[in-house]
Structure 1
Amino acid sequence: MSTSLLVQYAVIGLVVLASALIVFRKLAPTLTNRWLAAASIHFSRSGHAAWVRAFGQRLQPKQATGNCSDGCSTCGACGPKPPAAARTDAVPLEFRPRQ
């Protein structure tokens, strides 16, 4: 296997891994916040090097601030809005067999 092909596979693998992490973070934010908090605690211990502790501090998930822009949904005001009143002029479709 040539070097350029190996580099190409490595780059594609990194792109796929990054996109999978982004999708997983969008679909399961609570789980990923728990995992980030656990990793942050592990890396922030006093026995590690300074750069490892700094990395652990950087991994720490953002905390909810209590305003409506953070999406914490603790008060219920930020959640999805109820659907609008159903239209009364809508007529359901009727499917009839061909003649």
Structure 2
Amino acid sequence: MSANLLLQYAVIALLVVVSFWTALRKVAPKTTSRMQAGVAAPLLRSQRGAFAQRVGRWLQPKGATGDCGDGCGTCGTCGPSDAPEEKAVTFHPPRK
């Protein structure tokens, strides 16, 4: 296997992993936050070195602050005030 082919496979694998992580964060944000916290927690212990603690702080998920700027969307009031109202869908029988 040539070095160029190996590099190509590595880049494709990296893109697949990043795409999967991005999609997972959109679909299951609480699960990914728990996963990030689980990975960061062992790195944040006081017995670890400064570099490991820095990586742990970088990996640690940001907590919701409670204001509309953090984008948590749990209260449902962060949306625009001029949002269109929902309309009911009406189904009609097919024309003959």
Give the percent of matched residue pairs that are identical in Structure 1 and Structure 2.
Answer: 44
Larger radius of gyration: 1
Q: TM-score, normalised by structure 1?
A: 0.76
Return closer, same or farther for 1:86/1:18 CA change in 2, 3 Å cut-off. Answer: closer
- Indicate the residue corresponding to 2:85 in structure 1: 84
Cα 1:86–1:49 shift into 2, 3 Å: closer
Change (3 A) 1:21 1:94: same
Unaligned stretches of 5+ residues in structure 2 = none
Specify the code of the residue in structure 1 equivalent to 2:94. F
Which gives a bigger RCO, structure 1 or 2 (Cα 8 Å, sep 6+)?
2
TM-score normalised according to structure 2 size: 0.78
Give the paired residue count.
95
1:23 aligns with: 23
Name the CA distance, whole Å, in 2 between partners of 1:60 and 1:92.
48
Instruction: Provide closer, same or farther for how the CA distance between residues 59 and 91 of structure 1 changes in structure 2, counting only shifts above 3 A.
Output: closer
